Amino acid sequence: MPKPTSFPQITRQQVRAVDQIAIEQFGVPGVVLMENAALGCVDILAARSAQCVRICCGKGNNGGDGLAMARHLELLGIPTQTLLFCPAGEITGDAAIQLNILQKSGLPLEIIPANVTDEALDRLLLDADWIVDALLGTGIKGNPRAPMDRVIRAINRSKAQRMAVDLPSGLDCDAGTPGDPTVQATVTVTFVAPKIGFATETAKPYLGEVVTVGIGAPRQAIEQAMREGL
């Protein structure tokens, strides 16, 4: 079986260009890209024999990937609880579609208030053997703000293994510099291509194993984004 084409390292701007070109020029719905990203992450969790998963979601597309993962994990019979760290009304776009599906499906979902205590965070994560970090995406620069900083610290305190969706929350994907705090991942499932900052020595302690998965963007869209998103 032929190996999929690999692409070189990609910048924050190129990441955005891939999505924009795939959606606007090639007609790939954004929610399809999100579904494919989620399926890639779920396949890796299943291959690692995940038994009990907590998915920690923020309000952006990274969180949308996590929301989509919950449905696919449930289809595999893997017990999963989704923790949303923002009001439901702040979810927009493709992530809102995923949230709507999850709510209508009646799958375990808890919306966590910003004033949640550290003790409550630890209890929420206690029984998981895997925690999915779908909090912050490639746009993050600098230190994560409250309450995400406390959520990240709770994830790092947990004894569970940790999957970072696209990149560990808190890590600058271009500079490779970690914010205070940054998720310390067991495995980072990154989309399209490794982020350019992953090659730095400062990033490596947070990445764990890096696995690249496709999201269904056409090859031409990716190649155009690599050329134009410089």
**Is residue 142 over pLDDT 50?**
yes
What the block records as the tokens of 42 is 């779920």
Domains and CATH numbers, the chain: 12-228 (3.40.50.10260)
What digits encode the pLDDT tens for the residues 159-206? Answer: 999 999 999 999 999 999 999 999 999 999 999 999 999 999 999 999
Q: What is the pLDDT of residue 1?
A: 44
3-state secondary structure at position 225? helix
Sign, CA torsion 189/190/193/196 = negative
The mean pLDDT of 118-133, rounded to a whole number, is 97
What digits encode the pLDDT tens for the residues 46-77? Answer: 999 999 999 999 999 999 999 999 999 999 99
The number of beta carbons lying within 10 Å of the beta carbon of residue 154 is 22
Nearest CA among 52, 46, 183, 66 for reference residue 129: 52
**Is residue 2 over pLDDT 90?**
no
Length of the chain: 230
Question: Which residues, 6 or more positions from 105, have their beta carbon under 8 angstroms from its beta carbon?
Answer: 71, 74
Tokens 């891939």 found at:
18
Q: Evaluate whether 179 touches 140 at the Cβ level (below 8 Å).
A: yes
The mean pLDDT of 110-130, rounded to a whole number, is 97
The mean pLDDT of 5-15, rounded to a whole number, is 87
The verdict on whether omega for the bond into residue 147 sits within 30 degrees of 0, i.e. cis, is yes
- In percent, the amount of the chain with pLDDT more than 90 equals 93
- For residues 117-142, b (16+ Cβ closer than 10 Å) or e, as one string? eeeebeebbeebbbbbbbbbbbebee
The mean pLDDT of 31-47, rounded to a whole number, is 98
Secondary structure letter of residue 90 according to DSSP: G
**Is residue 3 over pLDDT 70?**
no
3-state secondary structure at position 221? helix
- Distance between CA atoms of 56 and 111, rounded to whole angstroms? 10
